[in-house]
Amino acid sequence: MEKTMLDSIRETAEYIIKEVGTAPDTAIILGTGLGELVDHIEIKKELAYKDIPNFPVSTVEGHSGKLIFGILGGKYVMAMQGRFHYYEGYDMKQVTFPVRVMQQLGVRKLFVSNAAGGMNKEFRVGDVMVITDHINLFPEHPLRGKNYEELGPRFPAMTEAYDRGLVKMADDIACEKKIRLMHGVYVGTQGPTFETPAEYEYFRVIGGDAVGMSTVPEVIVANHAGMLVFGVSVITDLGGKDVLEVPTHEEVQKAALKAQPVMTELIKAMLERIG
Ligand code: HPA
């Protein structure tokens, strides 16, 4: 009989449980800007993507993806070091497969981070933006096709795709620690081009504050799975018709690196508070 998506998810989760024993209830997808967080995890176990059955393998050079299990902010977590982007050529089922495996493992809370271009005129390069909502502009939907009721409903609500309680917690921590924390709507696009000035303007007009090439697929699947999601973007460049600077991958990486300590402090404090 042909292996279904459910079979693959279960097989992968079983492998992970066999390797790590118990699974955590909180997961973190370490996108750009949160890589440094790994240095703060008291690592118990690491699994290379290439050794995990059914896992896609990262294509980005020098990026050997792995799942990390350990203690952060006093809490047992799993972290994905390296994610799968749609622009790399993966389909949406591959991009979101790790989130399905997290679901199978019993993960209830998901933290995600990314780099994004800012359209909101109040934003500055290096700002950290809590994602309060998103606009999905990817050309393929991760839930398209057969719906497995075991995984979630056919028509899931996206009313609170980013948990308001977690946003409030982040605000409280930012206030206490004097962190400049912006709020905004993240527009998810396929990339890999950065936007034209007219596109940045357009994304602003439709209600976006920042734009990036990830996160939305994983967040949709996490919501379908009933998880609570917290998302955060590092604003690595600004876009619009008045902006003359040309965004480059290097600039994005540099700005993200600068924002890392703040992102790390915020996520650690949140995990401590969640208990
Ligand atoms: N656009 C899309 N994705 C991005 C950007 C941007 O300006 N900056 C970082 N990721």
pLDDT digit string (tens) for 71-106? 999 999 999 998 999 999 999 999 999 999 999 999
What b/e string do you get for 166-188 counting C-beta neighbours within 10 Å, with b at 16 or more? bbebbeebbeeeebebbebbbbb
Is 211 a pocket residue for ligand 1 (Cβ < 6 Å)? yes
Residue 142, pLDDT > 70, answer yes
Q: Which of 197, 196, 200 is nearest to 210 (CA)?
A: 200
Residue nearest to atom 3 of ligand 1 (CA): 212
Is 236 a pocket residue for ligand 1 (Cβ < 6 Å)? yes
Pocket test for ligand 1, best of 128, 195, 201 (most atoms within 8 A of CB): 195
Task: Give the whole-angstrom CA distance, residue 30 versus residue 181.
Answer: 19
Q: Are 135 and 210 in contact (CB under 8 A)?
A: no
Structure tokens at 200: 């940045």
* Mean per-residue pLDDT of the chain: 93
Per-residue confidence (pLDDT) for residue 200, from 0 to 100? 97
Q: Which of 78, 148, 68, 149 is nearest to 107 (CA)?
A: 78
Q: How many angstroms does the Cα of residue 116 sit away from the middle of ligand 1? A: 4
Per-residue confidence (pLDDT) for residue 60, from 0 to 100? 58
Q: How many angstroms does the Cα of residue 77 sit away from the middle of ligand 1? A: 28
pLDDT grade for 37, boundaries at 50, 70 and 90: confident
Structure tokens at 257: 């690196």
| Percentage of residues in the chain having pLDDT higher than 90 | 83
Structure tokens at 43: 């690592």
Per-residue confidence (pLDDT) for residue 251, from 0 to 100? 84
Q: Are 187 and 133 in contact (CB under 8 A)?
A: no
pTM: 0.95
Residue 123, pLDDT > 80, answer yes
Q: Are 104 and 7 in contact (CB under 8 A)?
A: no
Q: How many angstroms does the Cα of residue 66 sit away from the middle of ligand 1? A: 24
Residue 58, pLDDT > 80, answer no
Q: How many angstroms does the Cα of residue 84 sit away from the middle of ligand 1? A: 16
Residue 59, pLDDT > 70, answer no
126-135 pLDDT, tens per residue?
999 999 999 9
Q: If 0-12 CB within 10 Å is exposed, 13-18 middle and 19+ buried, where does residue 10 land?
A: middle
Residue 119, pLDDT > 70, answer yes
Is 170 a pocket residue for ligand 1 (Cβ < 6 Å)? no
Per-residue confidence (pLDDT) for residue 116, from 0 to 100? 96
Q: Which of 155, 117, 138 is nearest to 246 (CA)?
A: 117
Phi/psi at 161 (nearest 5 deg)? -60, -30
Residue 62, pLDDT > 90, answer no
Is 213 a pocket residue for ligand 1 (Cβ < 6 Å)? yes
pLDDT grade for 258, boundaries at 50, 70 and 90: confident
Per-residue confidence (pLDDT) for residue 143, from 0 to 100? 98
Atom of ligand 1 nearest to the CA of 195: 1
Residue 61, pLDDT > 60, answer no
The mean per-residue pLDDT over the stretch 154-167 comes to: 98
Task: Give the whole-angstrom CA distance, residue 165 versus residue 143.
Answer: 26
Q: Are 267 and 227 in contact (CB under 8 A)?
A: no
Is 239 a pocket residue for ligand 1 (Cβ < 6 Å)? yes
